[in-house]
């Protein structure tokens, strides 16, 4: 009898726990438009606002605020995190990408790509370095991104590319405390620039070209012209 009571109490406890808890869904940053599902790409930046071609529509429904079931299927006009009315833009020269204005990112637009058509991240060894026309550095702070240096001189760019290319893979490296974050952007003639984060822990500069890698401290002289 005592065993039966104990089992009943356990079942009731589990039911109460399930009823009292809320389902937390970690949505991926998606937008569904014109039958295609676009996913945010974080390691690229719009090269210039002139590549924004035209407005193609706007968000109809913000999923994260209203949907509490994991079985939900995105419909045209749905966005995981953007408010209703957020405008969607076509990008010149890119058929399987759209842009959303976002002042928190470099150059002011978040890029979304059709997941099956484009890689979500380009490893550094895939960057066509011979086509790079400009290199910029930004510091990332709470108040936003601040451009710290820009280079178009071929000699400077070759030195920067050499430092990046010759970084030493260090998969097990761990920073010594808090780090400062910078971003390096490599521009070609395309609408999207390649973007990579660089961090500095007070002693070592490191980044993630494909996995953790240590950069020469020579990068410091290029990161900022201040």
Cα 205 from Cα 157, distance rounded (Å): 18
What is the structure's pLDDT at 68?
87
Residue 190 CA to residue 28 CA, distance in Å, equals 26
List, in order, residues 6 or more apart from 56 with CB less than 8 Å away: 33, 34, 88, 89, 90, 98
pTM of this structure: 0.83
In this structure, what token pair is assigned to residue 218?
């020579």
pLDDT digits (tens, 9 = 90+) for 143-155: 789 999 999 999 9
Cβ neighbours for 168, distance < 8 A, ≥ 6 positions apart: 213, 214
CA distance 135 to 84: 36
Q: What's the sign of the alpha-carbon dihedral 145, 148, 149, 150?
A: positive
d(CA 180, CA 167): 18
Q: For residue 120, how many other CB atoms are within 10 A of its CB? A: 12
**What's 216's DSSP letter?**
P
Low-confidence residues in the chain, pLDDT < 50: 1-20
Instruction: Give the sign of the dihedral formed by CA 125, CA 131, CA 136, CA 140.
Output: negative
DSSP state for residue 167 in the 8-state scheme: P
pLDDT at 18: 45
Could you tell me if 148 and 223 are in contact, meaning their C-beta atoms sit under 8 angstroms apart?
Answer: yes
Provide the token pair at 123: 């490893």
pLDDT at position 218: 98
CB 192: neighbour CB atoms within 10 A? 23
pLDDT score of 14: 42
């Amino acid at each position: 009898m005592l065993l039966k009571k104990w089992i009943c109490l356990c079942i009731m406890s589990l039911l109460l726990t399930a009823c009292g808890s809320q389902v937390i869904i970690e949505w991926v940053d998606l937008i569904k438009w014109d039958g295609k599902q676009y996913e945010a790409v974080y390691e690229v930046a719009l090269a210039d606002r002139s590549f924004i071609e035209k407005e193609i529509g706007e968000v109809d429904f913000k999923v994260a605020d209203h949907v509490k079931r994991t079985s939900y299927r995105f419909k045209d006009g749905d966005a995981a995190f953007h408010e209703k009315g957020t405008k969607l833009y076509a990008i010149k020269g890119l058929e399987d990408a759209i842009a959303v204005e976002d002042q928190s990112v470099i150059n002011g637009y978040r890029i979304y790509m059709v997941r099956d058509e484009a890689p979500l991240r380009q490893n550094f060894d895939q960057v066509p370095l011979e086509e790079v026309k400009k290199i910029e550095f930004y510091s990332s702070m709470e108040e936003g991104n601040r451009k710290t240096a820009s280079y178009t001189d071929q000699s400077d760019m070759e030195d920067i590319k050499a430092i990046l290319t010759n970084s030493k893979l260090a998969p097990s490296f761990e920073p010594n405390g808090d780090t400062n974050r910078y971003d390096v952007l490599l521009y070609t003639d395309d609408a999207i620039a390649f973007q990579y984060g660089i961090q500095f822990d007070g002693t070592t500069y490191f980044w993630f070209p494909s996995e953790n890698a240590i950069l020469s401290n020579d990068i410091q002289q290029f990161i900022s012209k201040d």
